[in-house]
Amino acid sequence: MPVILGLAVFLVLVRLAAYDEPIEWDIGTYMTVAREMLAGERLYDQVWADVKPPGVYVTFAAMQAVAGDGFLAVYLLSVIAAVVTLAGIYYAASVAGPLAGALGATFWAAMCFDPGMGANLPNTEVFINAAVAWAFALWVRGDVASANRSWGRWSGIALLFFLASTYKQVALAPAICLGLVELVATRALARILVMAAVGVLAWAALFGYFGATGRGWIAWQTLAVSSGVYGGSQVQNLIDSLKIGQGLPRQLAYTLPAAALAVIGAVMRKDAAPRRAWLLLAALVVGTHLAVALPGQFFPHYHQLWFVPLSIGAGWGAAALSKLPQPRGRALARVGVALAALAVLYPQLTWLPLSGEERARRKYGDFFVYANRALGDVNEVLQPGETFYTWSDEAYAYPLTRRRLPAAGLWKLQTLTGPLAGWITQRTLDDLERNPPELFIHYGDPSLFPDHPIAAWSLAHYDPLPGENVKHFPLYFYVRRGGTLERRLAHSPATTSAPSPAP
């Protein structure tokens, strides 16, 4: 369809703007872990990043195996996920007719690349959206009369939700809500049980794989125990999800025109999608709210999950307005829909003229930019083949410098808090003892953590890089005592020059 092709080209072009944007924490984590996996390191055992399931790491590893570990792989993942979701939105929304499909896809293209929500980058939510959009499309277009005989369709839907949950476990929330609504609406108990069984078996197979490869305990601790601790109080999370600035973020305000169209479509239901479709969309809305709320952190990128139900609902509502009986009413409706799409699109276009560093500063603040600049000096200090370790949360340090992670623990935060902090700390220390890096980088003064084993080990084996730590603020560079870098610096007059002023 020409409209879908045009929207796909639009997504390809607008996402090019992210090409010179500095890599941030999450994307840096995925790139680093993927590179280590391709080098033979074992996920959750020899490299440990956070409590996410393996889906995002496997996805990045697959793309980096093809496109390399630079930003091309990041860009391709972003574009492919967006276009796949675009097609799913069109297929789902077109249950109310081709016009509804085209309009739903238009609203998806208009809202899905907002840099302020990190939507121009392939975080976990973009892959969840792709799987959920297609799962919902297959579900809403399923033939209810022959539903219990269409086992392939419903097994496929279950596998799509399983796939979504391998990026984040909370992606199962929409599946559960859809199943409950379908059970009440159609009494299709057998079908719901089959889908549940497929999902349970798929997760059992995943844990079985980790068990067979000697990682059963750490996989369980990571994906079940630690993720539960990360989420905190689910009751408090649900309460906070109703507060403006948390579960109702200001960043999502630009999508309100799409939400208004969805409400209009629900009110005009007889002129929009079928009743069952609206019930399923309501279930998807509730499930999306739960998926955003349950982790309890309410980071901006979490709210990208709203893009799928909002786009489908906006498509149905906009198509309903096109069926108004009066010609003048239809003309006004077309103008209103066009203005709504422009209102959704415009705030995102304001990011396009900005340079990559300007976008990063607008998103994350000055400290992120300073840290990126400082890490750019690593390759000026180290020779090819030499390694560094940063005890910080700046996971982007390794893809930025194109150097390997020398120890299991990637994030400083994970060595300080959580049920696995002690295990990660010890694994990291074992790696550092076995292959000490030439450079050790701290975020902030390491003396602030005098009792932590990693800080104590670094101070026992490393000295400050002469004359450079002011320049590298907020990072502190330390040189291995007796290492090759220290010997080079001893014979280099440049290292004794006056430090550059802090930014």
Q: Is residue 355 part of a domain?
A: no
- Whether residue 389 is found in the same domain as residue 454: yes
Same domain, yes or no: 71 and 123: yes
Same domain assignment for residues 476 and 392: yes
Indicate whether 462 and 321 sit together in one domain. no
Residues 335 and 403 in one domain: no
The residue range of the domain holding 27 is 2-349
Per-residue pLDDT at 270: 64
Cβ-Cβ contacts under 8 Å for 369 (sequence gap 6 or more): 22, 357, 360, 361
DSSP for 131-146, please give it: HHHHHHHHHHTS-STT
Residue 237 · residue 296 · CB < 8 Å: yes
Q: For 396-419, how does the pLDDT look when each residue is reduced to its tens digit (9 = 90+)?
A: 999 999 999 999 999 999 999 999
Number of structural domains found in the chain: 2
Whether residue 476 lies inside any domain: the answer is yes
Is 361 within a domain?
no
Residue 503 lies in a domain: no
Are 250 and 297 found together in one domain? Answer: yes
- Residues 335, 380, single domain; the answer is no
- Write the DSSP string, 460-492: HHEEEPTTTTTTTTTEEEEEETTSHHHHHHHT-
How many Å is the maximal CA-CA distance in the chain? 85
| Residue that is last in its domain, among 295, 324, 349 | 349
> Residues 388, 294: one domain?
no
Question: Residue 213 corresponds to which tokens in the numbers above?
Answer: 């490869």
Whether residue 208 is found in the same domain as residue 302: yes
Boundary residue ending a domain (287, 320, 349): 349
Measured between alpha carbons, how far is 248 from 232 in angstroms, rounded to an integer? 19
Would 502 be classed as within a structural domain? no
- Give domain status of residue 174, yes or no: yes
CA dihedral 486, 491, 494, 497 (to 10 degrees): 80
Res 230: pLDDT? 81
Domain check: are 376 and 336 in the same one?
no
Residue 460 lies in a domain: yes
Residue 143 has what pLDDT? Answer: 66
Same domain, 398 and 437: yes
Query: What are the pLDDT digits (tens) for 344-393?
Result: 999 999 999 999 899 999 999 998 988 998 998 999 999 999 999 999 99
Tell me, yes or no, whether 358 lies in a domain: no
Q: Which of 318, 349, 380 is the last residue of a domain?
A: 349
| Per-residue model confidence (pLDDT) at position 144 | 53
Mean pLDDT on 444-460: 90
